[in-house]
Amino acid sequence: MIHLKDAHIRFICGSQHLYGPGPLKVVAENAQQVAAALDGIASNPLPIKDGGVVTTRDEIEAALRDASSDDRCAGVIVWMHTFSPSKMWIRGLRDYRKPLLHLHTQANRDLPWDTIDMDFMNLNQAAHGDREFASLLTRMRRNRKSVVGHWSDEEVQNEIVTWVRAARAQHDLHGASFARFGDNMRHVGVTEGDKVAAEIRLGVSVEGYGLADLMEHVNAVSPAQVDALVDEYQGAYDVASELQPGGAQAGALRDGAAIELGLRSFLEAGGFKGFTTTFENLAGLKQLPGLAVQRLMADGYGFGAEGDWKTAVLLRGLKVAAEGMPGGTSFMEDYTYHLEPGRHRVLGSHMLEVCPSIAAERPRLEVHPLGIGDREDPVRLVFDAPAGDAINVSIMDLGNRLRLLVNEVEAVEVPDLPNLPVARALWECKPDFKTALKAWLEAGGAHHTVYSYDVKTALVEDLAHMLGIECVVIDANTDFRSFRSELQQSDAAYGSVDA
Ligand code: MN
């Protein structure tokens, strides 16, 4: 994963001095034990550091200020092992703006029925200590994730890991820059958006460039660099015969390699975490970038076609969230339908730009004509995405807010498609095609999405919650009447706009 920031999570335990030094020592030991257990969860992607026990207003404020000011801290987990009067937390929480997880747990899983006494009761009092703390969070309208259950419980640990992954994505996007080559595809609405609002809300800067800026990097590529990259392609893909050295289209592969090297050089020089292209603005490029975009996505860059910077940002965020997971996450477009009664399916693809992280098999490297873009034949990776559970996520600018829309889908095996020379995925929507699409359309969902086998709905919900943006979900339980009602209530909550 390129440009991934160093990050960790702090674990802070709240208490007070009412109980004397003996119990506080036990509180500290228990907090260390819980922090170490969470840190050791096999699927946990970030270190979880014991941030100690805080017992006074000054200690609380100092601990949260330290978490805020440490660029590497991606979020804080808080637990009230004992009672910790919540007014002590006001000053600290007023200025703390990073993700917060409130773990409502207890050091002991089981009550020691035969020996329980008031000392035990006074030590293990999260049952009311955490309520006191949560009441203040609610009073302060503070976004957080509440996780309930014993810290060793697998469900609890999975919920925490999901949140840590979302926090890592939020942390990575904070301060990230995205490059746009050209503007939007002309006249297209859903890929537009308020870039100022996006920087305020998502923490990302979206910066425009002309193709001449990119061409400087493409033109600086040496033949030796192209030779080396073409060799790399030979090792990674099944390269079509016409692209082999001496083949009729060998030059197209070298042109594609030069575009990849130039694009990579530009993105590295600017420290960008994602980019967009548009086929309406390819001045100087011999081909629409296909292979280059696919390989850059596989390395972790966010991407959106036709100037779609919002999807580029979302793809980067979800790729970071899924880092280390096996399934893959890609830019996607709902392209065409199979409308056979009882077997409605969506064929997802794009002109060229689908990420090989979702390839079911070794991709084929091919070249074919492409009418769109009015350039020479572009090289591209062709493959099928596998069967399995997946999600499609769309991000829209509704004028007064950003909305994330999730549809849970079941990908099915792609049949042989001998005349379709692009990467593709095939899926069935939950709860069923007609309900899912009615809901998607009325929610204003885009045709571009992020498609992932790794990211689950709960993670998208956590990320939306910590970013303070709306998230609506279409899944196996979606009932269209309730869904539309949810959209209406949401408009009322955010305040509708006419335009
Ligand atoms: Mn498109």
Distance 192 CA to ligand 1 centre (A): 13
Over the stretch 79-110, which tens digit does the pLDDT of each residue have?
Answer: 999 999 999 999 999 999 999 999 999 999 99
Angle, helices 211-219 vs 250-270, to 10°: value is 110
Residue 470: what pLDDT? 96
In 5-15, which positions are buried (b, 16+ CB within 10 angstroms) versus exposed (e)?
A: bebbbbbbbbb
Q: So what's the pLDDT on residue 498?
A: 60
Among left, alpha and beta (phi > 0; psi -120 to 50; other), residue 106 is beta
From the CA of 282, how far away is ligand 1's center (Å)? 16
Q: Map tokens 């045709």 to a residue.
A: 447
Identify residues whose C-beta is under 5 A from ligand 1, the ion: 305-306, 333
Q: What is the pLDDT along the chain (499 residues), one digit of tens a residue?
A: 889 999 999 999 999 998 888 889 999 999 999 999 999 999 999 999 999 999 999 999 999 999 999 999 999 999 999 999 999 999 999 999 999 999 999 999 999 999 999 999 989 999 999 999 999 999 999 999 999 999 999 999 999 999 999 999 999 999 999 999 999 999 999 999 999 999 999 999 999 999 999 999 999 999 999 999 999 999 999 999 999 999 999 999 999 999 999 999 999 999 999 999 999 888 889 999 999 999 999 999 999 999 999 999 999 999 999 999 999 999 999 999 999 999 999 999 999 999 999 999 999 999 999 888 788 999 999 999 999 999 999 999 999 999 999 999 999 999 999 999 999 999 999 999 999 999 999 999 999 999 999 999 999 999 999 999 999 999 999 999 999 999 999 999 988 766 4
Per residue in 363-377, pLDDT (tens digit) is 999 999 988 878 899
| Cα separation, 219 vs 371, whole angstroms | 25
How many Å lie between the centroid of ligand 1 and the Cα of residue 344?
22
Buried b (16+ CB within 10 A) or exposed e, 116-152: eeeeeeebbbbeebbebbbebbeeeebebbebebebe
Give the CB-side neighbour count of residue 321, counting CA atoms within 13 A: 34
CB burial readout 74-88, b (16+ within 10 A) else e: bbbbbbbbbbbebeb
- Residue 303, CB half-sphere, CA atoms under 13 Å: how many? 30
CA–centroid distance, 425 to ligand 1, in Å, is 15
What is the reported pTM?
Answer: 0.97
Q: How far is the CA of 189 from the centre of ligand 1 (A)?
A: 12
In this prediction, residue 495 carries a pLDDT of 83
Distance 468 CA to ligand 1 centre (A): 27
Query: Residue 77 Cα, ligand 1 centroid: separation in angstroms?
Result: 39
| C-alpha to C-alpha distances, 45 to 33, 115, 162, 163, 169, nearest whole angstrom | 19, 39, 10, 11, 11
Distance 377 CA to ligand 1 centre (A): 18
Which is it for strands 424-429 and 402-412: parallel, antiparallel or unpaired? antiparallel
- 418 CA from centroid of ligand 1 (Å): 22
**Bridge partners of residue 274, in order along the sequence:** 178, 302
**Ligand 1: centre distance to CA 15 (Å):** 53
Cα–Cα distance, 383 to 354 (Å, whole number): 9
pLDDT of residue 19: 82
CA distance 2 to 464: 23
Looking at residue 63, what is its pLDDT? 98
pLDDT at 216: 97
